[in-house]
Structure 1
């Protein structure tokens, strides 16, 4: 049987973890996380990590594998995930990958471009500008300086905007100049499954999840990582809003409401990203029997 990776992707709160575990149990295999924040040991509540019971159900890779003091990016993930897949393939012909970080899944399946090294001062300066002036400043800068890239960029994603500006500042060239035309060929087959729910239900689940995070102690978790607030993983939904609350800019109720709004917007961006990839077959996660039968037929 050909070595195969079954990828489960989709928006946050759609039920990816539960489905990935069911598929991994079906084939007696392991799950590789494709989530850019669940790898950090210090942040669990705001990243909606699998529960201890879920982690015990099947082996998981790239969960709690790093400290927030370390920087992980798509290039590092590509190498690690290929290594994890190799380990799984030494025992089993099938591996499961699960997550919502589209860039990490793309790096694993197609390879990632070699980007130039960025002097630390450039990143610090751009981070400071973002904190002071918000995402609008980043959007204006990139639109003026690299309009061609801006036209296709994820303009609501501050990390991507900062990355593009970093490359411009460090090299004088557009980030597109460093992109490879041809994807890498992998020696395993990939089956891509996308899951999502009707919008109202997805939003309901997002809101419920945020309420559970607040009750579970999200504020205390954020306080514990305050010294690392400039870290990429913390410049995201669920952490940024609580930093604003701790800075006295928002009430706790407003911070929770903002997390819900920003998570809905993030889910929409995730769907847009994954739907661009025509290799995905889409399902409602409540149709578990249909999905499992389709996976077995494909294998």
Structure 2
């Protein structure tokens, strides 16, 4: 990543026509993926994530050109976290023993001026989980990515009596207003996953319309895309809104490409990783679908 790349994007004029805007987002998504792949050294992403997702998170990061580090021991954080390019925190298999490490890592990342990304898995499922996520929000994440139910739970600050754990009972579009309000209150980018992935910084709102339904049949794909967001933000920390939309769309494109060779969820998991590794400019420019939300 170089200053010329960033300057080129900042100076790019805002196109007027819908087709031109689509092309602009596609070019931006490709540029972000290239930045990860072409960094002088692979962006180092510290992942404090759940036991279910560790393998897929690590392999998605590697296939995109980043370097995962599964460091969650509180004793290691003061030495290690300042060295990373971004931190990713996921509360999927949260325990009281892990929460202090999450909070310390977020605080150290902030002190070291490193971006960090929060995945508030099943935030409304229990009081303990909700309080943990709300405490982490006070530590100023750069990006929060969750499903509709998780974002609504954070916005309302209350346990969801109808919670089904990691399964959302709300569509992403149901949480647009909550996401905007949460982004403004926390000073961060909020992404809501769904049939249309919503991304907002409190003012701007876009939708990423890539992906395939079968991704929902593979555990930890949501965790993995949040890790990819962390990698994209790591190489473009001044553009968390753009990086988040780009990562969601690129991951969705990889799912679309991988589905063509997959016979079911098990093989799609393998082909997803292969597709992300092999994505080229032509495919990204042709398939990326990011635009305004109406």
TM-score scaled by length of structure 2:
0.29
